[in-house]
């Protein structure tokens, strides 16, 4: 557990939100506001085929007829959808490019963020250290994707969504919107109309993806939203592990991030999807600024014995509203959801999962750890349901909340529906306050108050941290510490 010590040391040397810098680069913007012409503009910018444009316009029509949902336990002023840019991209030609063509300013951003974009830098790392391929999305577009060639050798397609639409239209048309339909919900529908980029992964039958894949999302431009779309398909008997990371500059206005992630697993395939979300959380005192993170993530375990595992560490955003879900369609398919959601300052999070058991003998497991500090509010909202045909469905849910201080709130809202008599669902939930007694005990042994909080919190979230790929677990542990800095006062 050297990481604990490391956490403790790092925290001392870090500021509150270290990713809050802005990069000054020339950008292409679509005119502010949203209408059918903007949708056409985005599609044209990306050189899309007619079918894609039609799909977007259809989504836009539907979106106009929808109302913004208000059932989540979060409060925010009405969003003016006309006061935002729906497309912002570094000024450069569209299309695949080599790293040498990427604006050095952008490369500098990723360097600052510690994201390796140069393959040789990754390769030059410690021998035997796990490597991972990166797709870097800067505002609305993907700027570079690494290790594409090496992945192509085993048949794995890893590229930006724009490129996939051009190069692999048959796959995109078959799967896009098949897990999250166009008009699934307000924000997903908006995303379908204006999504700008994202990552696309296809793993062919029987292939175990030789490295971790990851996408790193960065919002840089002012008054812009980010609407990325990610589609991952794991064909029969394949395996892929994928990680998503996010940061944004500190800005006074709220920025909307409405992403859609669709996962499809065929027979015996497995996708492990991890997220370390660290969007700017807004000013801790006033609550001003920060990202609205309204994301739809869903997996369709289409094949028998297929498996999807969601792991998320949510520390940023002023408002988080997301429920990575699994539709357990295939017989004996299984879904897992491991979550750490931390809110501090004035942050609000309403997050959880849905496990929809459709096939026979499907299994799901939910471990959720919510930590609230400051004046924040943290809600777990989850649904576990079993269809009449889902005989022998099993679920285990464990939902723990930890309160730090006296002005924060934690809520747990589980929905459980078993529509057959042969399902077995278990739900355990606890809410505890970080106790003064425990803190004093640790301090009496020599830990400072801050170190004591970190040690106790790390203990609380351990079950979830160990689900993350090793190198990200260390990163996430540091993030947990930073997010809670100054939370005990």
Partner 1 sequence: MLSVSNLHATVDDKEILKGLTLDVPAGEVHAIMGPNGAGKSTLSYVLTGRQGYEVTAGGATLDGEDLLALEPNERAAKGVFLSFQYPLEIPGVPALTFIRTALNAQRKARGEAEITAPEFLKLARAKAAELKIDFDMLKRALNVGFSGGEKKRMEIFQMAMLSPRFLILDETDSGLDVDALRIVADGVNALRSPERAMLVITHYQRLLDYIKPDRVHVLAGGRIVESGGPELALELEREGYEKYARAA
In the complex, which residues of this chain contact partner 1 (CB under 8 A)?
1-2, 4-5, 8, 435-438, 440-449, 451-452, 455-456, 458-463
Six token digits for residue 21: 């810098």
Does residue 144 contact residue 117 with C-beta atoms inside 8 Å?
A: yes
Q: Is 296 exposed, middle or buried (0-12, 13-18, 19+ CB in 10 A)?
A: buried
CB of 468 to partner 1, least distance (A): 15
Q: φ and ψ at 247, to 5 degrees?
A: -145, 165
Q: φ and ψ at 218, to 5 degrees?
A: -135, 125
CB of 125 to partner 1, least distance (A): 23
Nearer to partner 1 among residue 386 and residue 456 (C-beta): 456
CB of 489 to partner 1, least distance (A): 12
Q: φ and ψ at 268, to 5 degrees?
A: 60, 15
Nearer to partner 1 among residue 136 and residue 473 (C-beta): 473
CB of 449 to partner 1, least distance (A): 8
CB of 336 to partner 1, least distance (A): 19
CB of 130 to partner 1, least distance (A): 22
Six token digits for residue 311: 């792991």
Measured CA to CA, the distance from residue 18 to residue 387 in angstroms comes to: 46
Nearer to partner 1 among residue 183 and residue 431 (C-beta): 431
Nearer to partner 1 among residue 7 and residue 377 (C-beta): 7
CB of 5 to partner 1, least distance (A): 6
CB of 401 to partner 1, least distance (A): 14
Does residue 282 contact residue 249 with C-beta atoms inside 8 Å?
A: no
What are the strands, taking DSSP E only, across 176-277? 199-203, 212-218, 229-234, 239-247, 254-257, 260-265, 270-277
- How does 225-240 read in b/e, with b if 16+ C-beta sit within 10 Å? bbbbbbbbbbbbbbbb
Nearer to partner 1 among residue 21 and residue 440 (C-beta): 440
Nearer to partner 1 among residue 161 and residue 456 (C-beta): 456
SS3 402: strand
Six token digits for residue 326: 């699994």
Considering only CA atoms, which of 446, 437, 436, 442 is closest in space to residue 489? 436
Q: C-alpha angle with apex 45: 176 to 188, nearest 5 degrees?
A: 35
SS3 292: strand
Give the β-pairing of 254-257 and 270-277: unpaired
Nearer to partner 1 among residue 2 and residue 126 (C-beta): 2
CB of 460 to partner 1, least distance (A): 6
Measured CA to CA, the distance from residue 349 to residue 136 in angstroms comes to: 26
Please give the span between the terminal C-alpha atoms of the chain, in angstroms, as a whole number. Answer: 27
Report the DSSP beta bridge partners of residue 224. Answer: 85
CB of 478 to partner 1, least distance (A): 15
Measured CA to CA, the distance from residue 486 to residue 34 in angstroms comes to: 40
SS3 303: coil
Nearer to partner 1 among residue 234 and residue 468 (C-beta): 468
Nearer to partner 1 among residue 262 and residue 451 (C-beta): 451
CB of 488 to partner 1, least distance (A): 11
CB of 174 to partner 1, least distance (A): 44
Nearer to partner 1 among residue 168 and residue 462 (C-beta): 462
Q: What is 416-431 written as a DSSP string?
A: EEE-STT-EEEEEEEE
Does residue 248 contact residue 219 with C-beta atoms inside 8 Å?
A: yes
Nearer to partner 1 among residue 418 and residue 455 (C-beta): 455
Report the DSSP beta bridge partners of residue 416. Answer: 384
Measured CA to CA, the distance from residue 202 to residue 183 in angstroms comes to: 24
Nearer to partner 1 among residue 280 and residue 460 (C-beta): 460
């Amino acid at each position: 557990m050297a990481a604990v010590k490391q956490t403790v040391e790092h925290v001392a040397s870090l500021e509150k939100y270290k990713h809050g810098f802005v990069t000054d680069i020339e950008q292409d913007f679509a005119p502010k506001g949203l209408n059918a012409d903007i949708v056409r503009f985005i599609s044209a910018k990306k050189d899309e085929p007619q079918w894609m444009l039609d799909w977007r316009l259809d989504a836009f029509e539907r979106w106009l007829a929808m109302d913004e949902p208000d059932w989540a336990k979060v409060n925010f002023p009405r969003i003016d959808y006309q006061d935002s840019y729906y497309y912002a991209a570094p000024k450069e030609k569209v299309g695949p490019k080599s790293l040498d063509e990427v604006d050095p300013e952008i490369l500098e951003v990723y360097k600052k963020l510690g994201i390796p974009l140069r393959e040789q830098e990754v390769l030059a790392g410690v021998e035997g250290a796990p490597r991972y391929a990166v797709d870097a999305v800067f505002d609305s577009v993907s700027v570079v994707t690494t290790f594409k060639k090496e992945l192509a050798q085993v048949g794995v397609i890893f590229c930006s969504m724009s490129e996939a639409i051009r190069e692999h239209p048959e796959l995109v048309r078959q799967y896009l919107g098949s897990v999250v339909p166009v008009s699934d919900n307000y924000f997903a529908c908006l995303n379908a109309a204006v999504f700008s980029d994202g990552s696309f992964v296809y793993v062919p039958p029987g292939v175990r993806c030789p490295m971790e894949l990851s996408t790193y999302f960065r919002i840089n431009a002012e008054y812009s939203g980010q609407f990325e779309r990610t589609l991952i398909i794991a064909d029969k008997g394949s395996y892929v592990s994928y990680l998503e990371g996010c940061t944004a500059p500190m800005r006074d206005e709220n920025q909307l991030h409405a992403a859609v992630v669709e996962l499809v697993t065929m027979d015996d395939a497995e996708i492990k999807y991890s997220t370390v979300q660290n969007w700017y959380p807004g000013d801790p005192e006033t609550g001003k600024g920060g990202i609205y993170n309204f994301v739809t993530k869903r997996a369709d375990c289409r094949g028998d014995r297929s498996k999807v595992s969601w792991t998320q560490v949510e520390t940023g955003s002023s408002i988080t509203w997301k429920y990575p879900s699994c539709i357990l369609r295939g017989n004996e398919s299984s879904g897992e959801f491991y979550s750490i959601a931390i809110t501090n300052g004035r942050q609000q999070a309403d997050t959880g999962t849905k496990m929809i058991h459709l096939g026979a003998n499907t299994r799901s497991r939910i471990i959720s750890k919510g930590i609230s500090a400051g004046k924040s509010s943290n809600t777990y909202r989850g649904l576990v349901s079993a269809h009449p045909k889902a005989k022998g469905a099993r679920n285990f849910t464990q939902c723990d909340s930890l309160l730090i201080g006296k002005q924060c709130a934690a809520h747990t809202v589980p929905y459980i529906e078993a529509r057959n008599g042969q399902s077995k669902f278990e739900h355990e939930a606890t809410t505890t306050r970080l106790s003064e007694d425990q803190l004093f005990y640790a301090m009496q042994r020599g830990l400072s108050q801050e170190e004591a909080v970190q040690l106790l919190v790390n203990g609380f979230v351990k079950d979830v941290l160990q689900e993350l790929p090793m190198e990200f677990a260390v990163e996430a542990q540091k993030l947990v510490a930073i997010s809670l800095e100054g939370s005990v006062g």
